[in-house]
C-alpha cells in the first residue's frame, strides 16, 4: 500500500521516456487504459452483475467484450481481475479495488479443486498475486499457497517438469509441457518463499532447467510443446499446438520463454538463466518487423500479409523492462529501447482499440490453427500491455518495476 501512494503521487508529473528511437508518453497511455477500463466497467457492472463472467475477447467485427465463465477450463479468468488490480495500483482509485476484489474472489475455488491443467499460475497469480501484493490480505496469501500446492501435483519427477495438459497426454503421446508453463513457475517461487515450502522452489528450478535442455532449437527459438516419456523422462519430440509448424517460431511461445527465463533469473540469481534469457530474446528481436510487433508466427509463409500478435508484443515489452535491469552497456540499452519501441507501436492508432472497442488493443491472435481469436482483442494482451506501461512508469520513477508482478 505504501508503494501505491508513492506511485500515485509520482503520477502528478508528466512522464515521457526518450530513447534514441523516439519519445513515448507513458502517462497518456496509462490514462487511455484507464478510460477503456471504465468503459468496460460500464458494460459489466449493474445491480445484477455476475462476477464469475470475465472479459475474454472482442472479435474484429464486434465492439464489446465476449464474456466467459470462470470455470476450471477457462485459462484467462485471472487477467481481468489483474487489469483491475493494476488500475488500482496506477490510480489509487477504490472503485478498481472493489471490482478487483469481487472478480478475484470468484477464483478461490480453483485453489482447492484438483488441477485441471497448468494454467493455475496464470489464473491465480495475476488475480490473487497482484491482490495480495497491493492489499496484504492474509486470506489471499492462503489462496495463493494452496494454488501452488495444487499446481505442484502436476509435477512428474521422472521428467523434471510440470505436466501442462493432463487431458492431452494420449493426443501428444506422452507427458506434455508447453512453453507457456514457464509463467506458472512464478507462483511456485512465491509460495516457496512466503509459505516456507522449499520443495516448490526446487520444482520450479528443475522445470526451468529441463525446459532449457530440451525445449529449444540450436538458434534458441522454442517449440511450443515438448513431449517426454512419462516413465523414463526421455525427451521424445518437439511439436506445435498453436503455432504454424513444429519447426516454426510461434510469437507468443517465444514471448513466454523471454518472460519466463527473465523471471527465473530474478528468483534464482543463477547467471545461467540470465544468459539464457538473453539468448531467447535475441533470436526474437533479430527477426521482428519494423514496428516491433511480431507476426503471429515468425515463419508463416504469408508474411507480410499474416496477422500480427499484439499480445506477444505486450508480454515481451514487459519482460524486457525487467531483463534490461539485469544487463549492462549496449545490451541494456538495446533491450530498453526495444521495449519502448514496442509500447510506442502498441500505443499508436494502428493497434489501439480506441472508440471502436472496449479493449486497450486490437490485433492479437489466440489460436490460429483452431481458427480461434484471429486478429482479435484478447484480455491477456491488455493485461501485459498495462503491466509493461506500469513497469516503464516505475522505472521512470527510479523504482525497480519488478514488484509490479510479484511481492518479494
Ligand atoms: N497459454 C496459451 C496461449 O498463450 O495462448
DSSP character string of 229-296: -TTT--EEEEE-SSSS-TTS-BHHHHHHHHHHHHHHHHHH--HHHHHHHHHHHHHHHTT--TTS--BS
Mutate to test the pocket of ligand 1, among 366, 371, 376, 379 (most ligand atoms within 8 A of CB): 366
Please indicate whether residue 117 is annotated as part of the active site: no
Split at pLDDT 50, 70, 90, the class of 7 is: very low
Residue with cell 477500463: 37
Confidence tier at 399 by pLDDT (50, 70, 90): low
Residues 6+ apart with CB under 8 A from 317: 339, 342, 343, 346, 384, 385, 388
- Average pLDDT of span 80-95: 98
Minimal-distance CA residue to ligand 1 atom 5: 366
Measure 311 CA to ligand 1 centroid, in angstroms.
10
Catalytic residue among 117, 119, 309, 375: 119
Cα separation of 242 and 252, whole Å? Answer: 9
Cα(23)–Cα(332) distance, rounded to whole angstroms? 18
Please tell me the distance between residue 258's alpha carbon and the centre of ligand 1 in angstroms: 14
Residue 11 — very low, low, confident or very high, per pLDDT cuts 50/70/90? very low
Q: Which residues line ligand 1 (CB under 6 A)?
A: 180, 242, 252, 366
Note the pTM of the prediction, 2 decimals.
Answer: 0.94
Task: Among 252, 365, 369, say which to mutate for ligand 1: greatest number of ligand atoms within 8 Å of CB.
Answer: 252
Known catalytic residue: 119? yes
Strand, helix or coil at 162?
A: strand
Mean pLDDT of all residues in 313-342: 98
Tell which atom from ligand 1 comes closest to the C-alpha of 366: 5
What local confidence, expressed as pLDDT, does residue 12 receive? Answer: 32
Cα-to-centroid distance, 366 and ligand 1 (Å) = 7
- Is the CB of residue 85 less than 8 Å from the CB of residue 37? no
What is the C-alpha to C-alpha distance for residues 251 and 208, in angstroms, rounded to an integer? 19
Amino acid at each position: 500500500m505504501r508503494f501505491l501512494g508513492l506511485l500515485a503521487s509520482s503520477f502528478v508529473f508528466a512522464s515521457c521516456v526518450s530513447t534514441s528511437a523516439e519519445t513515448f508518453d507513458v502517462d497518456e497511455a496509462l490514462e487511455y487504459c484507464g478510460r477503456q477500463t471504465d468503459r468496460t466497467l460500464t458494460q459489466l457492472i449493474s445491480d445484477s452483475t455476475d462476477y464469475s463472467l470475465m472479459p475474454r475477447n472482442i472479435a474484429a467485427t464486434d465492439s464489446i467484450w465476449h464474456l466467459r465463465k470462470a470455470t476450471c477450463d477457462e485459462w484467462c479468468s485471472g487477467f481481468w481481475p489483474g487489469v483491475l488490480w493494476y488500475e488500482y495500483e496506477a490510480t489509487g482509485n477504490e472503485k478498481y479495488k472493489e471490482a478487483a476484489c469481487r472478480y478475484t474472489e470468484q477464483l478461490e475455488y480453483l485453489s482447492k479443486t484438483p488441477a485441471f491443467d497448468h494454467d493455475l499460475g496464470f489464473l491465480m497469480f495475476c488475480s490473487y498475486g497482484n491482490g495480495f501484493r497491493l492489499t496484504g490480505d492474509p486470506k489471499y496469501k492462503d489462496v495463493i499457497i494452496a494454488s501452488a500446492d495444487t499446481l505442484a501435483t502436476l509435477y512428474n519427477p521422472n521428467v523434471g517438469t510440470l505436466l501442462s495438459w493432463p487431458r492431452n497426454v494420449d493426443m501428444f503421446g506422452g507427458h506434455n509441457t508447453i512453453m507457456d508453463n514457464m509463467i506458472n513457475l512464478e507462483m511456485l517461487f512465491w509460495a516457496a518463499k512466503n509459505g516456507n515450502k522449499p520443495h516448490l522452489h526446487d520444482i520450479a528450478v528443475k522445470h526451468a532447467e529441463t525446459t532449457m535442455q530440451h525445449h529449444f532449437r540450436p538458434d534458441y527459438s522454442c517449440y511450443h510443446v515438448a513431449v517426454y516419456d512419462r516413465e523414463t523422462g526421455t525427451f521424445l519430440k518437439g511439436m506445435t499446438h498453436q503455432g504454424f509448424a513444429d519447426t516454426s517460431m510461434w510469437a507468443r511461445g517465444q514471448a513466454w520463454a523471454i518472460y519466463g527465463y527473465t523471471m527465473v533469473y530474478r528468483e534464482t540469481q543463477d547467471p545461467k538463466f540470465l544468459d539464457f534469457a538473453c539468448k531467447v530474446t535475441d533470436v526474437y528481436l533479430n527477426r521482428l518487423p519494423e514496428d516491433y510487433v511480431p507476426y503471429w508466427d515468425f515463419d508463416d509463409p504469408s508474411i507480410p500479409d499474416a496477422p500480427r500478435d499484439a499480445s506477444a508484443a505486450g508480454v515481451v515489452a514487459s519482460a524486457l523492462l525487467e531483463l534490461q535491469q539485469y544487463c549492462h552497456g549496449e545490451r541494456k540499452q538495446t533491450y530498453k529501447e526495444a521495449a519502448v519501441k514496442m509500447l510506442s507501436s502498441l500505443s499508436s492508432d494502428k493497434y489501439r482499440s480506441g472508440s471502436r472497442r472496449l479493449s486497450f488493443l486490437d490485433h492479437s491472435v489466440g489460436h490460429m490453427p483452431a481458427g480461434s481469436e484471429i486478429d482479435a482483442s484478447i484480455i491477456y494482451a491488455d493485461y501485459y500491455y498495462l503491466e509493461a506501461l506500469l513497469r516503464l512508469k516505475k522505472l521512470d520513477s527510479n523504482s525497480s518495476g519488478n514488484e509490479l508482478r510479484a511481492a518479494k
